[in-house]
Amino acid sequence: QVHLVESGGGSVQAGGSLRLSCAASGRNFRNYNMGWFRQAPGKEREFVARIYWSGTARYADSVKGRFTISRDNTTNKIYLQMDSVKFEDTAIYYCATPERPFTYEFASWGQGTQVTVSS
């Protein structure tokens, strides 16, 4: 059973930067697709970014060019570098991973970390 713990959330002014971290335990991390999602108040959870076991990354159009996802297989962590943040980036950010290696459906979630962007 995987355990995901996010950290690094907080308050930031528009145009600023923030770096989120997610620590994963309980599995052979390097074989798993990992992702970030977010949920703003009154909205559904939405995809932000994913990084495959190969290191290839994909982004939602709303964050492309501003956010960068990365992974460190030696420490079992992924990161989300958030630059040029906007008010609409305010949300709870969740780390996620599939149940099985080399698959794509996200099924395990962390508890989330709050990001608040002020103008």
Position 48 scores a pLDDT of 98
Position 26 scores a pLDDT of 77
Position 119 scores a pLDDT of 85
Closest CA to 51 of 40, 41, 59: 59
Position 117 scores a pLDDT of 98
Cα distance between residue 94 and residue 113, in whole Å: 7
Position 72 scores a pLDDT of 96
Position 28 scores a pLDDT of 82
Residues in the chain predicted with pLDDT less than 70, given as ranges, are none
Position 39 scores a pLDDT of 98
